[in-house]
Chain A
Amino acid sequence: MPSSNDWINNPLGVVEEMFVQSNSNPEWEAKVLEYFKGKLKEKQAYSWIPSLNDVPLHYLKPNSLVKFRCLVQDMFDPEFYMGVYETIDPSTKAKVLRFGKYKDVTELRCVPHLQVDLNSRNTVTAERQTFYCVPIPGETLWEAFLNHSHTYARSSQARVVPSTSYIPSRQKRSYEEDDEMDTQPQKQREPHTGGSPQLHANGDSKRQETEAPSGQTTSPSNASSPLDLNFPLPGERGPACLVKVYEDLDSFKLNDMLEVYGILSVNPLLSVLCEEKDPSASLLDPTESMETPEEQRAHDPPASLVPRLHMLHARPLQHNNPLLPSDRAEDQHAFVSSFMVEMASVRAEFLAYLTHILLGDGLAAEYLLLHLISSVYARRDVLPLGKFTLNLSGCPPNSSFTESLHQVIQELVPCTYRLSMTLHNMNSLRLVPRKDYVANRLVSGALQLARNTSLVLDETRLEQGQLDASGVQNITALGNLISWQKVDYDFNYHQMEFPCNINVFVTSEGRSLLPSDCQVPLQPQVTPPNLEEYLSTVHKAQLTSQINKFRVYLSVAQTLDYSISDEVTKAVEDDFVDMRKDDPQSVSAEDLHRMLVVARLLSLSLGQTSLSREGWMRAKHIDMLRRTRSQPQTTVNGNEP
């Protein structure tokens, strides 16, 4: 058996060995999987493997085992490949069996004139599928940074600034465009981006987005333009990857978060193969003409830009918070139960922190906290349960308040994205993913997000004006997302519904034009003369260890189970009937829906996994508070003549 490091540095060698040993018994495939699974189970094994997310591609050894934390952005058609093939030496007629699994190209070991015997009887054709994977969209800095240092701390390359070579498209950006969109002052961003300035900048060029579709519709002349890596969010960067999947094809779904362990393939031959087709050859070869240049580029980008990863093992991620142990279920259980003790105290601290951020408004802070731990936990026919869209109204317009708020959220949750709902953005952004039949791929949109991503919609940026057709579609898509937690992907001839689980937080001046589960008007208790300064001092006052606690707190609260006992059910029912008795107009079924969600989140936020009578009363109480607050506003907007 190979030595301990071999399976990371030379996994193909390990596979080869097993293949030879097996003597063309098809069981070798299962053996390989078992071997790697076993190896990965070993303690710390995960952390030995370099991650494609953190280490620049050119520092990784080709054909070594790497891991990649990613989102399945698109699924290509299945392809047939030579699972086993035979090479033949024309001079000696010697035939050797080889395997094609986990490889892109048949390898002939540099022996001149060695040929693949295409007519061999021993050839086994097998099926695999390619997934186009991108780094998890909206991954926040702390998240990436922590993951980074956790997994690769020992390496001296840990802090290497990524080379620009693998993100060429990102460099070609007009800066005026940037300035226009990005109202956020540079100095504001600095304290947060301190660690690794290269990684992520929010609100970055939207232009990228609008360019992409027009680029695809124009024909081959476009072929020289930089490759669009098809990230869901504008301004994202990082490696995209073509993951070749061999087993359990059906178990993967679009938008799944995965940690893929696989063999990295950056064989330069791949690029050569697709570039060397001169036009005259393609005229004669019928198989060539069926792919448009766009399709070629989308499906076979140069390996130096989009590496191939041959999957050996994949771990679906429930969350991507590096502070939580994600390796094994038992670990997680132990961790969660140990943390439960602390829950209440952390909650209090956290609430105090949020109150400061929200200018001393305790109620809004409470609701924001509930919103941050919400998650769709089930669906009843079309109704998603557990979603809790929060509309924070009364945000000061034309100030950086909403941006600062987003920065705070960015520090807390693993994935987030702030969509500034300017008229221009609404009209020009592509929110809904769309199938591009010319390139045969799913062109991503900003709503293609991983589960539990926090989406902050900044409505304070919306001004009066004309929405065009795509603007209306975008607003409708946002509405659908909020009400049904689904996005209808545009497949041109039909639409396809993809359920999602995105926490939507709308900041607005008045009541939002989008639907929401719950609207809280902000009532600032303090009015600092310089809002920015105030927020940044509050923000800086928090210790990293404390922030880390908050981060863990949010992720743990999201994963807890919850139940309601029969006794409490009865109490809730009675309560509801009583409320209706007093004033039937005041409480509707919808209110009950909301209160049940609030009660659930409130209990979970305290680390209680079942609803207590007190929990219910508390939920009722804060809902009452909130409603009295928003009452004056509703009469203004009401339809009373």
Chain B
Amino acid sequence: MSSPTSTPGGRKRNRNDIPATPGSIGSTSPPSQRRRGQDSSNADLPAMPTSPATDIASPTVHDTSLFSSPRRSVLPSEVDMSSPLMYGTPSSRVEGTPRSGANETVLFREECTSTVFDLQTVASEPSVGQKLVIWGTDVNVGTCKEKFQRFLQRFIDPTSNEDENAGLDLNEPLYMQKLEEISVVGEPVLNVNCGHVQSFDADLYRQLICYPQEVIPTFDMAVNELFFERFPDSILEHQIQVRPYNALKTRNMRSLNPEDIDQMITISGMVIRTSQLIPEMQEAFFQCQVCAFSTRVEVDRGRIAEPAVCRHCNTTHSLALIHNRSAFSDKQMIKVQESPDDMPAGQTPHTTVVYAHNDLVDKVQPGDRINITGIYRAVPMRENPRQSNVKSVYKTHIDAIHFRKTDEKRLHGLDEEADQKLFTEERVKTLKELAAKPDVYERLSSALAPSIYEHEDIKKGILLQLFGGTRKDFSQTGRGNFRAEVNILLCGDPGTSKSQLLQYVFNLVPRGQYTSGKGSSAVGLTAYVMKDPETKQLVLQTGALVLSDNGICCIDEFDKMSESTRSVLHEVMEQQTLSIAKAGIICQLNARTSVLAAANPVESQWNPKKTTIENIQLPHTLLSRFDLIFLMLDPQDEAYDRRLAHHLVSLYYQSEEQIEEELLDMAVLKDYIAYARTYINPRLNEEASQALIEAYVDMRKIGSGRGMVSAYPRQLESLIRLAEAHAKVRFSDKVETIDVEEAKRLHREALKQSATDPRTGFVDISILTTGMSATARKRKEEVAQALKKMIQSKGKTPAMKYQQLFDDLRGQSEAAITKDMFEEALRALADEDYLTVTGKTVRLL
């Protein structure tokens, strides 16, 4: 402990006492907490100023005899050394100019210890039988510090899974390891999870939440003391600052109310605007024009009292402000908007102003989703000096202590944590009860888009898509990630409520995107690089596919999409990534999105005589990336019609209550899916693997009989994904045979619909994988041969009329030959270098 003479540092810090002196507390923020303190409805807040234990030191005692007045002013100033208003102010301000190196640290230590000295004198008072608290609170500095040090030294959280704690030994005191890290890295910031504090010492936590302005500086002191005791030789840029986060007090911007003023809160939201850096004067430097005597004046509540008389030469009005010797600190205004998920329907999002100080400046960018921990403040509107009337409204803002981005990991790795919704135990219980029901699969699929009738298998397919497979990582073996997302294509007649289904899914999932193939361009789907007009900074703007990472991207009118747009889907739908190489930015973004697409047939009606490919004219390379392709056709049978009619009619006269019930269903469904996606990761068991192998072999066998390949590994992967998703629906950690059975069934159904060769009636997977059924290929071959034969039979004619040839072939052949077939045959022969087609004539080579 150094001697009291080393106080220059300490004395200087007196400038910071503005917010903490009793008077100014009231003036910087409305005394609403008084009201709150008085009504005892808020149970966790005891009556205010009296300390809980001995109850002798009431504010009045404090005011009168115990301290001489200078001492009294020292206490709050010391305590408030880095009150959040000044929070994070580098102590270089002490001298007005930055210094560096060992010298600085030494000075810090002096400061630090001198602080300790003062406080310990204060803290030692209780020995007289009194317990001192900071005015207006029940915080006793000594106890508080002691408690916090104990917390730092003893807190162990073996179950911690925060990424920040990666690499730390979970069975050792967590924060001591962090201090060690600070000594190595030299970044003097200690982030403290308030949840930890709460579990360790609930009373300390309550104090932290209620009186952050007093408690955080106390924590700072405690940490520095502890740190320099441990690592006496460390050199730090400035003192360690404690940054609490994850205060459980408030989560939602909408629920902020006057009672939260001056408390520590954590809210989530999205940054919509950041201001430029505002240099805020902390201390003004004045110099006398006559005698060059200099003096410093602290900024008091935004004002500087200009000294009228020079103390040295007694000249009046001779002092001039020297800007570059005044001390400034950085400040930034950030506007945060409520995140869309927190909002009730039909209202506009709220915004809040946040001030970031010093090194928190420029930590966030517009568009970031962040959790902010800070102190909620309300300031009365400035009084007009000429008028005594005051606008009766306060301005509110949050002084930020800690930012945490919730989406920063989207570009690299999983952000499951941010997705994690908190489920109440009750909710989990209802969900589990639901999962235990044997017909849960049917129940859920029928709860999906109830206004759309039938199409049970399609709904089941979409349900499995919503759940998705299990994510597997094979990057170590060089294979990269296996796709876990299920892609589905719906095609069929216009007006079969495909769009409605897409709309429903889009509304159901939290990260859904809805685009129409007609209106979207490749950049709209992927990402593009934009230059910010103000900062000239290149910004990556993400499109629908990236935005729906971990969600579902619904693409309507898939067939209307331009060729180039479609081509970007190739990468997304199999590799689940998106590569950008534009304007000097080369990167790969994750786009682990399931694609739910809808396509209309090229002819206005689905032509049952044609294959899927012919009907929708999509490249087979893309089609083979869909796990399930469903046809939504109008089944034309009476029973179906009747049920459909009944369904529709009841839709139109159901009462309000029934509709209400259904809305509830949608909420349950949402939670069910969210829960399963987060917590259930099924793995294949032995039997299921066997079943899958058999299924695959069977599929291969079907085709081999007719000399075609009827299944590819891609189909096997689809089967696995579907089986996993089905296991998730059951909340089961194991994929069992029933899952495989259902996956097989669904896959077969989809294939039956989409990959049936209209000529033979057989299911032929090659329609989807190569774009042409085996019979069609054979047929093409035949026509080409027939044509060749015919030309050869004609003898040596170097050139023929196109139309003539076509007519001849038609006359010769028994089967009808369309123009398409004829042209195809010509092309095939051209490929053989047998002939060339130029305009209307055909030449032999």
Seen from chain A, the residues whose Cβ lies within 8 Å of a Cβ on chain B are 74-75, 77-82, 85, 100, 103-108, 112-116, 118-121, 123-127, 250, 252-255, 269-270, 272-273, 276, 281, 284-290, 378-383, 385, 435, 437-438, 440, 442, 472, 476, 483-484, 491-494, 496, 498-499, 562-564, 569, 572-573, 576-577, 580-581, 584, 588-590, 592-593, 596-597, 600, 638-639
Contacts and interface: CB of A to CB of B under 8 A. Distances in A.
Contacts of B651: 380, 385
B350 A77 contact: yes
B507 A382 contact: yes
Given A382-B504, A592-B644, 13 more contacts: A80-B261, A106-B390, A125-B32, A270-B391, A290-B333, A378-B654, A378-B659, A380-B451, A383-B451, A437-B272, A472-B519, A496-B340, A589-B495
Interface stretch (B378-386, B428-436, B620-628, B739-747): B378-386
A105 B392 contact: yes
Contacts of B303: 284
Contacts of A563: 653
Given A105-B390, A437-B335, A581-B638, A75 B347 contact: yes
A465 to B, nearest CB: 18
A596 B652 contact: yes
Which of B35, B280, B649 counts the most A-chain CB atoms under 10 A from its CB?
A: B649
B349 interface: yes
B524 to A, nearest CB: 11
Contact of A276 (B30, B35, B384): B384
Given A77-B352, A119-B31, A592-B644, A572 B392 contact: no
B653 A564 contact: yes
A602 to B, nearest CB: 13
Nearest to B346: A253
A127 B258 contact: yes
Contact of A484 (B304, B344, B503, B519): B503
Given A287-B382, A383-B451, A580-B641, A81 B394 contact: yes
Nearest to B30: A125
A80, A81, A435, A498 pick with most chain B CB within 10 angstroms: A80
Contact of A286 (B27, B331, B366, B393): B331
A639 B26 contact: no
A584 B605 CA distance: 13
Contacts of A85: 392
Given A82-B30, A104-B391, A572 B649 contact: yes
B500 interface: yes
B646 A105 contact: no
Interface string B651-668: 111101001001000100
A593 B648 contact: yes
A383 B343 CA distance: 22
A589 B648 contact: yes
Interface string B344-360: 11111111110100000
B346 A498 contact: yes
B451 A573 contact: no
A252 B347 CA distance: 8
Nearest to B299: A284
B652 A600 contact: yes
A108 to B, nearest CB: 5
Contacts of A472: 519
Given A123-B31, A569-B649, A592-B648, A118 B453 contact: no
B497 interface: yes
B480 interface: no
Contacts of A496: 340, 343, 348-349
Interface string B30-47: 111011000000000000
A596 B649 contact: yes
Contacts of A385: 651-652
Interface string B421-453: 000000000000000000000000000011101
Contact of A380 (B23, B384, B450): B450
Contacts of A105: 389-392
B346 A124 contact: no
A483 B340 CA distance: 24
Which of B258, B272, B641, B659 lies at the interface centre, i.e. has the most chain A CB atoms within 10 A of its CB?
A: B641
A124 B391 contact: no
A123 B30 contact: yes
B275 A383 contact: no
21 contacts: A80-B261, A80-B378, A80-B394, A82-B380, A107-B389, A112-B388, A116-B388, A118-B30, A252-B347, A287-B381, A382-B504, A437-B273, A476-B519, A496-B340, A496-B343, A499-B345, A573-B646, A580-B638, A584-B634, A589-B453, A639-B604
B532 interface: no
Nearest to B367: A493
A118 B382 contact: no
B461 to A, nearest CB: 18
B351 A285 contact: no
B258 A492 contact: no
B395 interface: yes
A382 B256 CA distance: 32
Interface string B532-558: 000000000000000000000000000
A244 B340 CA distance: 24
B257 interface: yes
A496 B302 CA distance: 39
Given A118-B26, A569-B646, A108 B389 contact: yes
Given A106-B389, A569-B649, A125 B394 contact: yes
A437 B272 CA distance: 7
B663 to A, nearest CB: 8
A27 to B, nearest CB: 14
Contacts of B450: 380-381
A590 B500 CA distance: 12
Contact of A588 (B344, B386, B387, B634): B634
Contacts of A269: 387, 389
Nearest to B24: A119
B322 interface: no
Contacts of B638: 577, 580-581
B636 interface: yes
A121 to B, nearest CB: 5
B389 A285 contact: no
B270 interface: yes
Contacts of A288: 382
B645 interface: yes
B351 A382 contact: no
B821 interface: no
Contacts of B832: none
B261 A125 contact: yes
Nearest to B503: A382
Given A476-B519, A588-B634, A108 B388 contact: yes
A81 B393 contact: yes
Given A108-B389, A589-B453, A564 B649 contact: yes
B380 A118 contact: yes
Counting chain B CB atoms within 10 Å of each CB, the highest count among A74, A79, A104, A380 belongs to A380
Nearest to B547: A494
Contacts of B496: 589
Contacts of B449: 381
B642 interface: yes
B393 A79 contact: yes
B35 A125 contact: yes
A124 B35 contact: yes
B30 A80 contact: yes
A382 B497 CA distance: 12
Contacts of A588: 495, 634
A383 to B, nearest CB: 5
A438 B391 CA distance: 23
Nearest to B656: A378
B479 to A, nearest CB: 35
B387 A494 contact: no
A493 B380 contact: no
Nearest to B39: A26
Interface core residue of B355, B451, B645 (most chain A CB under 10 Å): B645
A590 B649 contact: no
